[in-house]
A and B are shown apart, each in its own frame.
Chain A
Amino acid sequence: MRKVFASGTIAIDGIDFEVGDGEFVSIVGPSGCGKTTLLRIAAGLENATSGNVSVNATHNRPDALPCATVFQEHSLFPWMTLRENIDFAFDRLAIDSGERSRRVSAQLDLVNLTRFEDAYPYQLSGGMKQRGAVARAFAVDPQVLFMDEPFGSLDEQTRVLLAGELLTLWERDRKTVLFITHSIEEALALSDRIVVMTAQPGRIREIVRVPFPRPRDPIELRADPEFGRLSVHIWHLLRQERMS
């Protein structure tokens, strides 16, 4: 797949990989390597210049969306309360209002935001907003989840915490996830495989397999020597890119 911007800049080039059903794949790379562009094309928000993305969402359930996206930040509608935001995601789906309300409540409960369901986004912290955005995406029970640096705007501690919560949510039903991040540690903690990208044009440098068994604890994982080894390996891949 290839994407050329109107300015003539080649954003990404020769991208070709597959994400298996139920697999968690992260994309890491320096800023400007086109990883967000890649995800936007996959999520159907932008068109590729050539090539295509095929999403094999096999199910065709009336009560679930095939795909959902978690955006970087400020993606909750400011004019809706947290509950209304999650509820709105069901707009397209054919489910009765009782079931809908039950699913919204269950999702709010899973991310520990029940107490804040009637709050507007401006009343929530950055971490709560992103939890809400994650809850909204999980609520429609998609087969494929696209996540565009969902924790990128948060401080380190909130970030690790939310990554842990995401893992717990994900391990319940193992959705297929394509996750963009610039944090190598985050990618290692979450993923089955990591696609390491280079910049200008964005190409795949290497696809790293992450061997840790699941369920994982994103904090304990850091004590594993393999975690350090893989982290250094990816750092090297990115540094070579800088120097070449």
Chain B
Amino acid sequence: MIERVFRFVSPLALLALWEIVVRVHLLDARFFPAPSSIVGDFIDFLRSGELVSNTWTTLQRVVVGFLIGGIPGVAIGLLVGVNRVARAILEPVVALLYPIPKIAILPLILLIFGIGESSKYAIVAIGVFFIMLINTAAGVRQIESIYLEVARSFEIRRRSFYLNVLLPGALTNIFAGIKLSIGIAIVLAVAAEFTAAKSGLGFQIWNAWQTLQVERMYVALVMVSLLGYVLTLIGNALENVFVPWRGRS
């Protein structure tokens, strides 16, 4: 019960603190407008339509990139988790490629995919792919060996083994990966929009700084944060639907 209260109160307390320090002029309102004034701006920008269309654009890039990267990430993760040869081949490759900051390869991706939508999808997909692969493989490896033995004992077919044993067995880790990926996908989409887009929340943030429209920037920042929050809530809801066998606490 007390946790529920804290969950609700802690962000509100932070906002209240922010509001106070701006009002007593401890923070410069030109750079840190008070939450109350951001709320007003937020509504204005929603009405103007720019915010809605930029949010929609970014959401699309996040979701499409997420699916393009996530689905093969899970599939290859299952294979790497269960198959020793596949693990021997792919683990070092993943270990080499994963640490490269995805933002650092944005120029390369622009070179390959051009300035259009596909480059945004690609950068999001690459980031999500590695996280889903690594989490899925770890999920498969923590499946208790008895379940693999039961599958062997009943001569379960390969397809069913992947779909009905490995996939559900790794699902808790897969969902941990999904929640991590949501954050990463948003970071990458917004960052890609800074330099290589004419739309999206990242574009709005960057463009606002270049034209010194602080409110317009804050409004987009708040929207990015809300987008991540809502997607995480959806992730949690999906987890409850797809992992019904874990006794709910």
| B214-249 Cβ-contact flags toward A at 8 Å (1 or 0) | 000000000000000000000000000001111100
Instruction: Verify A88–B156 contact, CB threshold 8 A.
Output: yes
Q: How far is the CA of A184 from the CA of B147 in the complex (A)?
A: 29
Q: Decide if A68 touches B245 in the complex (CB within 8 Å).
A: no
Dominant SS at the B interface? helix
Contact of B169 with A79 in the complex, beta carbons under 8 Å = yes
> A residues 71-124 with Cβ under 8 Å of B?
71, 74-75, 77-80, 88-89, 91-92, 120-123
By the criterion CB–CB under 8 Å, are B245 and A121 in contact? Answer: yes
Confirm or deny: B146 has a beta carbon within 8 angstroms of a beta carbon on chain A: yes
- In the assembled complex, which residues on chain A have CB atoms less than 8 Å from the CB atom of B244? 120
Chain B positions within 8 Å of A67 at CB level: 153
B154–A77 CB distance below 8 A? no
B149 touches A (CB below 8 Å): yes
Q: Contact mask A17-49 → B, CB, 8 Å, 1/0?
A: 000000000000000000000000001110000
- A91 & B245 in contact (Cβ 8 Å cutoff): no
Report B-chain residues with C-beta under 8 Å of the C-beta of A91.
Answer: 154-157, 160, 164
Verify A71–B146 contact, CB threshold 8 A. Answer: yes
Task: Report how many residues on chain B are interfacial, defined by Cβ distance under 8 Å.
Answer: 22
Total contacting residues, chain A, CB less than 8 A: 24
B3 within 8 A of A: no
Within 8 A of A (CB), among B143-159: 144, 146-147, 149-150, 152-157
Q: A91-B160, A120-B245, A122-B247 are in contact. Are A77 and B153 (CB under 8 A)?
A: no
Residues of A within 8 A of B165 (CB): 77
| CB within 8 Å for A77 and B160 given contacts A89-B154, A121-B245, A122-B245 | no
What residue in chain B is nearest A40 (Cβ atoms)? B149
List, in ascending order, chain A residues with CB within 8 A of B157's CB. 91-92
B146 near A92: Cβ-Cβ < 8 Å: no
A198 within 8 A of B: no
Contact: A77 with B147, CB < 8 Å? yes
Q: Is B183 an interface residue (CB 8 A)?
A: no
Interface of chain A, helix or strand or loop or mixed? loop
Q: Which of B123-172 contact A (CB under 8 A)?
A: 144, 146-147, 149-150, 152-157, 160, 164-165, 168-169, 171
Q: With the chains together, A43 CA to B147 CA distance in Å?
A: 15
Given contacts A79-B171, A122-B245, contact A45 B154 (CB under 8 A): no
Contacts of A123 in B (CB 8 A): 247
Of residues B154, B244, B247, which shows the largest number of chain A Cβ atoms within 10 Å of its Cβ? B154
- A223–B157 alpha-carbon span in the complex (Å): 48
Cβ of B205 to closest chain A Cβ, rounded Å: 42
Chain B positions within 8 Å of A92 at CB level = 154-157
* Known A-B contacts A79-B169, A79-B245, A121-B245; A140 and B154 likewise in contact (beta carbons under 8 Å): yes
B146:A79 contact, CB within 8 angstroms: no
A176 touches B (CB below 8 Å): no
Q: Which residues 164-189 of A sit at the B interface, judged by CB distance below 8 A?
A: none
Tell me, in angstroms, the Cα distance from A166 to B117 when the chains sit together.
64
Which residues of chain A come closer than 8 Å to B152, judged between CB atoms?
Answer: 44-45
- Nearest Cβ distance between residue B224 and chain A, in whole angstroms? 35
Flag whether A143 is at the interface (Cβ < 8 A).
Answer: no
Determine whether the beta carbon of A88 is less than 8 Å from that of B164. yes
Chain A residues in 8 Å Cβ range of B156: 88, 91-92
30 pairs from A and B in contact (CB 8 Å cutoff)? A43-B153, A44-B152, A45-B152, A68-B153, A69-B149, A69-B153, A71-B150, A74-B144, A74-B146, A75-B147, A75-B150, A77-B147, A77-B150, A77-B165, A77-B169, A78-B245, A79-B168, A79-B243, A79-B245, A80-B164, A80-B245, A88-B154, A88-B160, A88-B164, A91-B154, A91-B156, A91-B164, A92-B156, A120-B245, A136-B154
Report, nearest first, the 5 A-B pairs whose CB atoms are least far apart: A79-B168, A92-B155, A120-B245, A69-B153, A79-B245
